[in-house]
Structures are given as structure tokens and as C-alpha cells.
């Protein structure tokens, strides 16, 4: 066991469920058919918002086009659902999806391929503080980004996102354990901030991340993309959650298992394996909205978990919302009613 390792505690789980018993109920006609029990304490721990993509990464462009499409690095792709014709991925559209899918809150991270969205996300956090936890982001390729991060602190951001896998370019690389990065992490730790980070596959950055965790034991860290679960060695990223200050979130797990598609049996098995490795209290659901809803509906990005018989009700409740509520400090969330759709 690692120093600072947490332990599964079924008694604690049970108490959490009792405390939020109003949240557990059968929802919708599909539950009558499949006996699905779903929790209304649903929090999306990995999503994205932007007004327009107009940036570049690794010398290649990312630019919003029409009908939800963007030019992405080398080709045109369907970045958003085609009905989002203006390319604006706004909080209001997301809230409409969240309300229909009964998702009470969401964590909005950032990615280099969307460009810096600090100004827009500051508006979002001020307008919808009860529904969103938003992350700021810096340009980590330019010296002096610690000063940029200090400004984000002054602007009221409670977290900073680092898309670590994007720090590895063809001609250079920013290491997570570099001196300036370590200064950033100490600044965040001193100010009680949360770090959202996604790591490159095949453990290219896992040792760097472990050094950061050990150097900053009071820095709360959420590692995304479920360790790049469909790539070799993903378990090493999951094992970082043995440290008290580290959580794992599953943003993007449906696109990682897109080849097998809904109901993502491989994803469920991976979640089961991760629970057995580090405990259900160390894992959080994330959708990677909106990119994932070009292939599935928003509700489908989590209800495959509700339908699974490989996880207990307690494990589902923790994974789908209770862990994120505690980790990000969400307060009272709205009670969102089930709304029958026209296919039912």
C-alpha cells in the first residue's frame, strides 16, 4: 500500500446513501422494463464549453466551421452535433442537455484544442455558480505562466486545468515536474485549488505525475480520461488514486470504447476493475461533453452504468455523483424531474 492510501469503507458508503436517500428512485419508463435504479445526484466531472474554436496545437489549426464542424489539425470533423449550426458550445445549450438527462451539476475543464476559454468560463461561473465548477487554463508553452495562474486565482477560479497529453509536441515537451510547473502546483496548493490533468497514454507522464503528487500532498488532483483505459498500461494511472489527494474521472470513456459502442460492456468492466483496484470512493463519472454526443445522446453517456449489474447501487451512486459532490464542493443541486420523450 502507498503512503496516504485510502481504504474502502462500506459503512461510509451506506451513510452517504442514507443521507441522500431522496436522490435514489426509479426514473422513467425504461426502469419499469429493466428495473434500473438511478440516482439523481448526478454530476458530470469532465465537460467542455467554448464560444468558438480558433487556435492551433503542434503547428496545426483548430477552427470552427459550420453545422457543428471544425477543421481539426489535418481534416474537417464533426466536433459538435450538426444541429449546433453556429459552432457555439454554450452553457445554456449544455444546461438544456443536463436538465433533460437529470444531471444536476457539471465540471468544465479546458483543452488546448479549444483555445483559452478563461473569459467565457468566468462569465459561466458567475452566472451559474450552483451548476458549474469551471477550470482556468494557462499557456504552458510560454515562460511566466505562473503569473498567469496567479491572475486566475485573483479572478476567482478554484481550479486550473492542464491537458498534459498536449504538452508533448513534435519538437519540444513541457514536463509536469519541471521547475516552473512545480512552482505552479505549489501556488495552487497554497490557494486550495484543484488540478484537472489528463495524461498521455502508455505511461509517458505517469512518473512525472507521481512526483507532483508526492511533492504537493495537499493539492487536490483529478486525473481524466480514466487513465486512457483502452491503451497499454492504463492501470498505472489508476493506481495514482491510492494517494489521498488524487481522484480519477472517466471523461471520454465512451469514445475510448466507441468501437464496441453502447452499452459499452468493456467500459463497465474497466470501471469494475478500477473499483477493485482503488475503491469506488476514488472514481468519478465524466462525459467529455460535447464531443461525445456526436455519437450518442448525453444521457447515454452515463445510463449504461445505471443499467449494469456489475456495479452495486452504492458504487453507482458514488461514481455518478456523490464523489464529485464532495471533491468539488457542490452545494444544493436542483431536483430535476424525469421528462417523457416522444419515442416512449
Please say whether the beta carbons of 280 and 8 come within 8 A: yes
CB neighbour list of residue 198: distance below 8 Å, 6 or more residues apart: 162, 163, 164, 165, 223, 224, 225, 251
Q: What is the DSSP letter of 239?
A: G
What pLDDT is attached to residue 224?
A: 98
Dihedral sign computed on CA atoms, order 280, 47, 62, 223: negative
Q: Is the peptide bond before 246 cis (omega within 30 degrees of 0)?
A: no
Residue at 82 is within a domain? yes
- Judge whether residue 49 has pLDDT over 50: yes
Q: Do β-strands 246-249 and 283-284 pair in parallel, antiparallel, or remain unpaired?
A: parallel
Q: Are residues 79 and 117 in the same domain?
A: no
HSE-up of residue 243 (Cα within 13 Å, Cβ side): 23
Which phi and psi angles does 159 have, rounded to 5°? Answer: -155, 155
Extract the C-alpha cell encoding 227: 487513465
pTM: 0.89
Give residue-wise pLDDT tens across range 232-246. Answer: 999 999 999 999 999
Share of the chain above pLDDT 70, in %: 88
Cα–Cα nearest to 193, from 248, 144, 133: 133
Question: What does the pLDDT average to over 183-205?
Answer: 97
Q: Are residues 27 and 162 in the same domain?
A: yes
Domain hosting 67: range is 53-87
Model confidence band, residue 40 (pLDDT cutoffs 50, 70, 90): low
What pLDDT is attached to residue 247?
A: 98
Helix, strand, coil share (%) of the chain residues, nearest 5: 40, 15, 40
Residue at 333 is within a domain? no
Q: Are residues 218 and 81 in the same domain?
A: no
Residue at 337 is within a domain? no
Residue at 196 is within a domain? yes
Q: How many domains does the chain have?
A: 2
Q: Are residues 41 and 93 in the same domain?
A: yes
What pLDDT is attached to residue 209?
A: 98
- Judge whether residue 35 has pLDDT over 70: no
- The rounded distance, in Å, linking the Cα atoms of 48 and 199 is 17
Instruction: Give one DSSP letter per residue of 134-186, joined into a string.
Output: E-B---TTSTTHHHHHHHHHHTT--EEEEEGGGGB-SS-B--TTSHHHHHHHH
What pLDDT is attached to residue 75?
A: 98
Q: Are residues 218 and 250 in the same domain?
A: yes
State which of 42, 64, 87 marks the end of a domain. Answer: 87
Amino acid at each position: 500500500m502507498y503512503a496516504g492510501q485510502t481504504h474502502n469503507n462500506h459503512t461510509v458508503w451506506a451513510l452517504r446513501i442514507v443521507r441522500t436517500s431522496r436522490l435514489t428512485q426509479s426514473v422513467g419508463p425504461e426502469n419499469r422494463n429493466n428495473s434500473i435504479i438511478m440516482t439523481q445526484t448526478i454530476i458530470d466531472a469532465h465537460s467542455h464549453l467554448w464560444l468558438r474554436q480558433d487556435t492551433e496545437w503542434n503547428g496545426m489549426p483548430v477552427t470552427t466551421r459550420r453545422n457543428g464542424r471544425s477543421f481539426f489539425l489535418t481534416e474537417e470533423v464533426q466536433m459538435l452535433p450538426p444541429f449546433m449550426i453556429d459552432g457555439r458550445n454554450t452553457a445554456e445549450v449544455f444546461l438544456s442537455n443536463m436538465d433533460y438527462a437529470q444531471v444536476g451539476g457539471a465540471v468544465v475543464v479546458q483543452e488546448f484544442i479549444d483555445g483559452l476559454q478563461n473569459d467565457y468560463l468566468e462569465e459561466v461561473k458567475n452566472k451559474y455558480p450552483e451548476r458549474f465548477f469551471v477550470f482556468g487554463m494557462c499557456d504552458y508553452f510560454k515562460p511566466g505562466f505562473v503569473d498567469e495562474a496567479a491572475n486566475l486565482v485573483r479572478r476567482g477560479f478554484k481550479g486550473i486545468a492542464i491537458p498534459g497529453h498536449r504538452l508533448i509536441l513534435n519538437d519540444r515537451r513541457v514536463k509536469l515536474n519541471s521547475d516552473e510547473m512545480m512552482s505552479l502546483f505549489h501556488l495552487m496548493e497554497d490557494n486550495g485549488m484543484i488540478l484537472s490533468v489528463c495524461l498521455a497514454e502508455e505511461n509517458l507522464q505517469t512518473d512525472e505525475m507521481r512526483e507532483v503528487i508526492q511533492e504537493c500532498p495537499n493539492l487536490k488532483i483529478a486525473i481524466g480520461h480514466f487513465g486512457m483505459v483502452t491503451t497499454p498500461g492504463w492501470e498505472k494511472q489508476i493506481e495514482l488514486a491510492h494517494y489521498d489527494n488524487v481522484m480519477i474521472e472517466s471523461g471520454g470513456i465512451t469514445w475510448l470504447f466507441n468501437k464496441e459502442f453502447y452499452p459499452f460492456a468493456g467500459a463497465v468492466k474497466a470501471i469494475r476493475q478500477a473499483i477493485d483496484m482503488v475503491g469506488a470512493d476514488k472514481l468519478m463519472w465524466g462525459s467529455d461533453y460535447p464531443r461525445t454526443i456526436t455519437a450518442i445522446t448525453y444521457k447515454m453517456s452515463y445510463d449504461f452504468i445505471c443499467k449494469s449489474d456489475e456495479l452495486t447501487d452504492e458504487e453507482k451512486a458514488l461514481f455518478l455523483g456523490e464523489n464529485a459532490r464532495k471533491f468539488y464542493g457542490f452545494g444544493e443541486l436542483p431536483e430535476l424531474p424525469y421528462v417523457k420523450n416522444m419515442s416512449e
